Amino acid sequence: MTKAPRDKRMTIDEVVAELKDGMTIGIGGWGPRRKPMALVRAILRSDLKDLTIVSWGGADVGLLLRAGKVRKLVYAFVSLDSVPLEPNFQRARQSAPGSGQSIPEVVELDEGMFQTGLRAAAQRLPFLPMRAGLGSDVLVNNPQIKTVTSPYDAPDGTAEELVAVPALHLDVALVHLNRADKHGNATYLGPDPYFDDLFCMAADRAYVSVEQVVDTAGLTVDTPVQRLLLSRMMVAGVVETPNGAHFTTCTPDYERDEKFQKAYAAAAGGSDDDWAAFEERFLSGDEAAYQAAIQAFTEEQA
């Protein structure tokens, strides 16, 4: 099919085919909220390995860790909210180094430092200064993070020491929003944009999955305030993936699937056989198979 100019629509698998081993991939959303889970599941099905994942993490991080896809993890937290510590992440974080289950390399940042690192990358700067982290174990556990002395005197005449937060440059950003047009303009309809635009600006290429691709004029229908978050200049590809954030929230289209999350957490925190059974049922096929399995699970729980 010949596409019209600026038509950036892609399939899930086409996006993942553009990813390479060893890439640094930023995953948008916030914990268990509006994660691009259909794209994450596609990465699980791929042969990709040795990835650096940058995320305010949820099940995206847990699944990729359990699958052995992650060489380095940069995060501020990894939580499912009602399950305070994501269980697959907990398993990996508490495993002995070299056990085959641990995370080879970890960078754990204050939430503000994480945001500042993305802002530095978005502005194509090597770092940005801030006070967060001073006097904390963040600097003890990350000796690669340096401090700088302000070239400007403080009011008391002293030169202030600041943390030089390094840029979190991303090869690729993956985010999920509610609606987009075929050009890459995308809007969120829920209560919070999170930092999806910042992830996209910090990346060389950004891909957005959405619940629905609509005409450009449809992006502003029934929206009492301006919710356009991504412009087409920030986006390399658009994927229509209904229910593509499951089992995280995508308000107002749907809320978090707590029953499924409970089943996920039980399998992740259980035996290897428990996890193998979960994988076989929900993660062994393509996205259509996943959605069919979710529908069957929902009917069982009704």
Across the range 221-226, mean pLDDT stands at: 64
The model's pLDDT over 7-37, given as tens digits with 9 standing for 90+, comes to 999 999 999 999 999 999 999 999 999 999 9
Please give the structure tokens belonging to residue 84.
């305070």
What is the per-residue pLDDT across 160-171, written as a single tens digit (0 to 9) for each?
Answer: 999 999 999 999
| Rounded Cα–Cα distance for residues 59 and 288 (Å) | 19
Query: pLDDT for 50-68, tens place per residue?
Result: 999 999 999 999 999 999 9
pLDDT in tens, 189-217: 999 999 999 999 999 999 999 999 999 88
* 3 state SS of 179: strand
* 132 in Cβ contact with 99 (< 8 Å): no
Q: Return the higher-pLDDT residue of 281 and 96.
A: 281
**pLDDT value for 2:** 57
pLDDT for position 224 = 58
pLDDT in tens, 279-292: 999 999 999 999 99
pLDDT band with cut points at 50, 70 and 90 for residue 4: low
Domain boundaries, the chain: 12-109+168-256, 127-166
Nearest CA among 106, 105, 128, 108 for reference residue 116: 128
What backbone phi and psi angles, to 5 degrees, belong to 241? -135, 80
**pLDDT reading at 157 higher than 90:** no
Q: Decide: 120 and 112 in contact? Cβ < 8 Å.
A: no
Across 95-109, 244-258, 261-275, 279-293, least confident range = 95-109
Residue range 81-100: average pLDDT? 91
Give residue 261's pLDDT. 98
How many other CB atoms are found less than 10 A from the CB of residue 194?
Answer: 20
Is residue 178 within 8 Å of residue 188, measured between CB atoms? yes
Q: How confident is the model at residue 225 (pLDDT cuts 50, 70, 90)?
A: low
The Cα–Cα gap between 205 and 112 comes to: 24
Average pLDDT, integer, range 228-253: 96
Burial zone of 73 (CB within 10 Å; 0-12 exposed, 13-18 middle, 19+ buried): buried
- Which CATH code for domain 12-109+168-256? 3.40.1080.10
